[in-house]
Amino acid sequence: MKRFFLMMLSVFTVLNIVLFSELTFAQMDQMKGMAGGKMPMPAPGNNTPEGQVPVILTPHKQKLVGVKTQPVRQKTMNKLIRAIGRVAYNERTLTTVTTKIEGWIEDLTIDATGMAVKKGKALFSVYSPKLLQTQEEYLLAISSAKKMNNKMGSGVMAQASRKRLLLWDVKPAQIQNLEKRGEVIRALPVLSPASGIVTEKMALNGMYVKPGMALYKIADLSQVWVLVDIYEHELPWIKTGQ
């Protein structure tokens, strides 16, 4: 045991002598450089504006510390943004169905939300005493105009009745059908002003309606909106038209 201790002591002594010698020689070299005015200095022009000396790493050391380089090139920056959103109707294609005359709903054809409708197809029929009376006046004015060859203002009366029907959203084709029939139509069909899907239905059979009362809402789902919530720090990556 004593012999092992002496051996270890000898080894430590040798190591101390070697380290001290290397340190002494390094200090002597530095002192010689200072004495001769040759103190190692960083190469001119390599300093940063702040006066810091750049560090140069060998390829081996770059690999050890994980330094990666890439040639400079111009390219479009892409960023994937994940967000939560919801699909909504295009507000520009929403249509509200109303009537411009009071009356009672009959023959309700579109009787549930979610049903598909086409423009010009009947949604329901409306019975209106005012509409019935105007039809009678129009047919009477036409008949009188034919008999009297448009004398005594009979043609003017027919035009006034026709204009009143048009203002109540009676279609020209329906007026033409009225002229061919020669009889009033008790309940006039109300046609869909647009194609789409019924999103809201307020109309009921036998319901009394007034001008401007909303009876249906129809949405064109051929084009929809996606409403997305984007974080503020992601806004620079968003632009119109994406």
Q: Find residue 196's DSSP bridge partners.
A: 117
Q: At 10, is the pLDDT very low, low, confident or very high (cuts 50, 70, 90)?
A: low
**pTM confidence score:** 0.59
229 - beta bridge partners? 84
The greatest distance separating any two alpha carbons of the chain, rounded to the nearest whole angstrom, comes to 150
As assigned by CATH, the class of the 89-229 domain is mainly beta
- Phi and psi at 100, nearest 5°, equal -110, 15
Strand (E) or helix (H) holding 227 = strand 224-229
Give me the residue label for tokens 């002229």. 179
Residues in the chain: 242
pLDDT at residue 98 greater than cutoff 90: yes
185 burial class (0-12, 13-18, 19+ CB within 10 angstroms)? middle
Pick the closest to residue 139 from 176, 173, 171 (CA basis). 176
Q: Where are the domains positioned within the chain?
A: 89-229
Render pLDDT for 105-119 as a digit per residue (tens, 0 to 9).
Answer: 999 999 999 999 999
- Between β-strands 216-219 and 116-117, what pairing exists: parallel, antiparallel or unpaired? unpaired
